[in-house]
Amino acid sequence: MWRKNHLKSIRKEKDEEYALGKKLVIVTSLKDIQLHLKVIVLFTTSLMIWFLFLLVFSPKRVSNPIRVFLSTPPAECKDNFSVYIYNLPSKYNFDLLRDCTSLNIYTDMCPHVTNNGLGSPLPQMGSSWFTTHQLIAELIIHARIQNHPCLTEDAHKSTLFYVPFYGGLHASSKFRDPNYTTRDALAVELVEYIQEQQWWKRNSGKDHFMAFGRTAWDFMRSDEVPDFGANKLLNMSPVKNMSVLVVERHPWEGHNQYGIPYPSYFHPSTSSEMVEWQNNMSYIDRIHLFSFVGAPRTGKKKVVTRDKVIKQCEESSKCLILKCGHGPSKCHNPREVVKVMMRSNFCLQVLGDSYTRRSTFDSMLAGCIPVFFSNHTAYSQYKWFLPSDPTTYSVYIDLERNHSIRIEEELLKIPMDEVERKRRTVIELIPTFTYAHPNSTSYGFKDVVDVALKALSDHVTSLLRSPTLLDLA
Ligand X SMILES: *[C@@H]1O[C@H](CO)[C@@H](O)[C@H](O)[C@H]1NC(C)=O
Q: Does 470 bind ligand X (CB under 6 A)?
A: yes
167-196: contacts with ligand X (CB under 6 A): 179, 181-182, 195
Q: Where are the alpha helices (DSSP H) in 99-136?
A: 110-113
Does 273 interact with ligand X (rule: CB under 6 A)? yes
Is there binding between residue 101 and ligand X (CB under 6 A)? no
Q: Does 106 bind ligand X (CB under 6 A)?
A: no
Residue type at position 183 = R
The residue range among 21-29, 110-118, 343-351, 363-371 that interacts with ligand X, by the rule CB under 6 A, is 110-118
3-state SS assignment for residue 292: strand
The rounded distance, in Å, linking the Cα atoms of 36 and 45 is: 14
Question: Binder to ligand X among 24, 419, 439, 464 (CB under 6 A)?
Answer: 439
- Of the candidates 403, 384, 409, 374, which has an alpha carbon nearest to the alpha carbon of residue 394? 374
Position 116 contacts ligand X (CB under 6 A): yes
Task: Evaluate whether 214 touches 172 at the Cβ level (below 8 Å).
Answer: yes
Nearest residue to 293 via CA among 310, 307, 312: 310
Closest CB to ligand X among residues 122, 331: 122
Among 124, 241, 270, 392, binds ligand X (CB under 6 A): 241
Binding flags for ligand X, 390-409, as an x/- string (CB under 6 A): ------------x-xx----
- 149 contributes a contact to ligand X by CB under 6 A: no
Element (H, E) at 85: strand 83-85
Tell me the C-alpha distance between 185 and 2, whole Å. 27
Q: Does 205 bind ligand X (CB under 6 A)?
A: yes
Whole-angstrom Cα distance, residue 401 to residue 393? 22
HSE, CB side, 13 Å, CA atoms: give it for residue 351: 24
Binding of residue 80 to ligand X (CB under 6 A): yes
Three-state SS for 397? coil
Helix (H) or strand (E) holding 160: strand 160-162
To the nearest whole angstrom, how small is the minimum distance from the Cβ of residue 17 to ligand X? 25
Site stretch for ligand X (CB under 6 A), options 26-34, 69-77, 227-235, 272-280: 272-280
Q: Does 123 bind ligand X (CB under 6 A)?
A: no
> If binding is defined by CB under 6 A, does position 272 make contact with ligand X?
no
| Total residue count of the chain as it appears in this document | 473
Judged by the rule CB under 6 A, the positions of this chain that interact with ligand X are: 80-81, 115-116, 118, 126, 159, 179, 181-182, 195, 204-205, 238, 241, 273, 276-277, 280, 375, 402, 404-405, 439, 457-458, 461, 470
